[in-house]
Structure 1
Amino acid sequence: MLLSRGGRWRRWRRGRPFWGGLLAVLAGAWICVLPLAPLKIMLQQGVAGIPSVLMGIVMIALGLTAWFSPAQRTLAGVLTTLIATAALVLSNLGGFLVGTLIGILGGGLMFAWQPYAAPRARGSAASEPASAPAPAPAPAPTQEFEPSPTTAPHQPDPQGAQP
């Protein structure tokens, strides 16, 4: 099935933390551009402006990483938030607070984003054969101690995390 240009864009955008990456790119650009502003706007100039430019470039790179490698979104989100917070001290109050706030918001959105899972078809459970054998239970792990009777039985994590 051929998708229209808008449909392809929407599908690409929904398959990654788009808004978090966009905010990280905007915050990085804001923090990066301020040291290049006229002296009347700047609070500090010279060698002290180098960290601002470097932090801005790294934030832009992290935003692009979230777009083009969504599997790295967690690391990119955490690093974006840390760099935006560090920019508050190292870079003209984090782009006069604007860059820091946008960067923290973008990092949080990248960190919190989850891939979209397509809903199952209604007939998928009914279409399975009823006579299919149940899988054999996994052998219980050996323990060095006996659990007390008051210990609650192990509940699997609904999000799929491994113990």
Structure 2
Amino acid sequence: MAVGIDYGNLMHRAMRGLIHNVLTDIAAHGLPGEHHFFITFDTQHPDVEIADWLSDRYPGEMTVVLQHRYDALEVTEDGFSVTLSFGESPERLYVPYDSIKTFVDPSVEFGLRFETHDDEDDEDEDDPRPPEGGPEDGGTAGRQDAEVVRLDSFRKP
């Protein structure tokens, strides 16, 4: 029997679903108006597929831009594939949703940030009590929580 409602994981899945829905629409209809995306992801995630030279150049995280120069955007339930130009060299990438750290559309000042909260105290996973300090302190080890990113730096004067 469930101890409680895991709002953190529910929100996590909902926000990944939002990214999936947006990218599915963009794959079918293209980017409308001034919309464009900055997507930062963990290059070390086990399901990320990028060229070795990109992984070497960006050993922790990488930000890609979907705006003018992208091709063959394919969206699945677990992630998306896209061909991007790096200089004059096209490269195919596969980015699983679980590897995404930030998703930003600065044209409308919208952004999501996914953070991983590691539990340094190694609390007992069978303990149903929430961590001390409330939900602001994160949850169990390795769980990712999502939050809205403030985009003040993208505001036009």
TM-score, normalised relative to structure 2:
0.31
- Normalized per residue, the structure richer in helix is 1
- Normalized per residue, the structure richer in strand is 2
TM-score, normalised relative to structure 1:
0.30
